[in-house]
Amino acid sequence: MITSTGNAKVKQLIQLQKKRKARDEAKVFLAEGLRMALEAPREQVLDVYVSESFYNKRNKELKLDAWGGKLCVFTDSVFAHVSDTKTPQGILTVMRQMEYKLEDILGREKPLLVILDNLQDPGNLGTILRAGEAAGVTGVILSRDCVDIYNPKVIRSTMGSIYRMPFLYVDELPQVVSAMKESGIQSFAAHLDGKRSYDQESYTGGTAFLIGNEGNGLRADVAKAADTYVRIPMCGQVESLNAAVAASVLMFEAARQRRE
């Protein structure tokens, strides 16, 4: 059992919590909490860290010992030190990062894609993955300058969808949007300049929704690459919607049309 916050493993975990660079160099990410541990694909689990109380309470039921050399027990205070949450559940897994290719994402039958341009809020990204999985989204493409998908706050708000939603960071979104066009995928930019209401378009074929930054929307070159601008009609004095809400309204309209 590890009892000191000075331990090298503890220090490394804190680096992995806090720094994208540390995660990317090690090609890992952290998934905290019981639900995230239970839904984790076992072949991607590199290490399992638990608090002493969690181990004592749940070892039998969860067969923690079966993890063998991958399992490591921390005292409760060391676990709390490493945890990203105020009230840690007592289990944290180190996972191998996912690796998807553009072909994985574009190559499906009638894909339903979400393209994110400079999205910055971790909660928004996690919520889009979770709602996207529920709405039948088949992949997410992110500009390189979006928030890190392996940020612990993103992971937590995906509620497990991080394990199942194919995604890819790309350097040049406009080029990818053009490549989609060649694959027969129609792209729709959620844009205040949109003339047609979003529910007047058909999303039953290959479809991609472009969602922009929380404060500034889509960058001009990205919006320009889209086939169609759509607008979500808004009442009252609201100027824009939260990015995750806008994405959800579009994704679930696509899901509704695809069910009919």
For its own copies, the binding residues (CB under 8 A) are: 39, 123, 127, 130-131, 133-136, 157, 159-161, 164, 197, 199, 232-242, 244-245, 248-249, 252-253, 255-256, 259
- Please work out, in degrees rounded to the nearest 5, the angle formed at the alpha carbon of residue 254 by the alpha carbons of 251 and 259: 125
Beta carbon of residue 252, minimum distance to its own copies (angstroms, whole number): 5
Q: How far is the CB of 223 from its own copies (least distance, A)?
A: 20
Nearer to its own copies, 90 or 122 (CB): 122
37 vs 176 by CB, closer to its own copies: 37
CA distance 228 to 190: 9
In 3D space, the residue among 166, 164, 204 whose CA is nearest the CA of residue 184 turns out to be: 204
Q: What is d(CA 137, CA 221) in angstroms, rounded to the nearest whole number?
A: 24
How far apart are the C-alpha atoms of 28 and 165, rounded to whole Å? Answer: 17
Cβ-based nearer residue to its own copies, 68 or 236? 236
Of 220 and 238, the one with the shorter C-beta distance to its own copies is 238
> Cβ 221 to its own copies, closest distance in Å?
27
E strands, 75-184, where? 91-96, 112-116, 139-143, 167-170
Smallest distance from the beta carbon of 231 to its own copies, in angstroms?
12
Whole-number Å distance between alpha carbons of 84 and 189? 35
